[in-house]
């Protein structure tokens, strides 16, 4: 299976589920235009979560889908957690990103956590900073171009 973008999700406020859009413009060292999490001031410019992780929550009986965990890009066919910090990859033809954080601390228990007693984003989501901007669309391929060495 080729790694691909299943959904692109944005919101105008932080802390809410994101809504799917068919395409988006990604700005270098910023993130997705129109998304509340985009910023030059930090390393978590875009968040990614695998469809495979969302399916785990669906198997627990939750009615959730792409964007419900506030991820910007829902992926399929790529082991996000296997990409160490510093790994670079392309999204679509031109957008180049670098893994900047794996997982996150969940300060406030989200609605998903309260429904299921668990949430996959803090453990299985990753964050990237944008090295080169461009346009992306649903269905675009994802290609790792430089896998960072895991430090022992």
Q: What pLDDT is attached to residue 151?
A: 47
User: Tens digits of per-residue pLDDT, 92-121?
Assistant: 999 999 999 987 666 565 555 555 455 666
**Which is more confident, 80 or 149?**
80
Domains annotated for the chain, with CATH where assigned, are 4-11+23-146 (2.40.33.20)
Q: What pLDDT is attached to residue 104?
A: 65
Q: Is the pTM of this model over 0.85?
A: yes
* DSSP structure string for the chain: ---EEEEEEE-SSTTSPPEEESEEEEETTTEETT-TT--TTSS-SEEEEEHHHHHHHHHTT----TTTT--SEEEESS-GGGS-TT-EEEETTTEEEEEEEES---SS--HHHHHHS--SHHHH-EEEEEEE-EEEETT-BEEEEEPPPPP-
């Amino acid at each position: 299976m080729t790694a691909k973008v299943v959904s692109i999700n944005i919101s105008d406020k932080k802390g809410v589920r994101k809504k799917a859009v068919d395409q988006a413009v990604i700005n270098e060292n910023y993130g997705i235009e129109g998304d509340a999490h985009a910023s030059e001031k930090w390393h978590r410019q875009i968040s990614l979560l695998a469809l495979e992780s969302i399916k785990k929550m669906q198997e627990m009986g939750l009615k959730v889908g792409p964007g419900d965990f506030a991820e910007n890009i829902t992926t399929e066919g790529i082991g996000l957690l296997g990409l160490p910090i510093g790994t670079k990859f392309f999204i679509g033809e031109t957008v180049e990103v670098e893994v900047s954080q794996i997982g996150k601390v969940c300060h406030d228990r989200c609605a998903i956590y309260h429904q299921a007693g668990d949430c996959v984003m803090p453990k299985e989501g990753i964050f990237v900073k944008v090295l080169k901007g461009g346009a992306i669309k649903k269905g675009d391929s994802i290609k790792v171009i430089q896998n960072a060495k895991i430090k022992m």
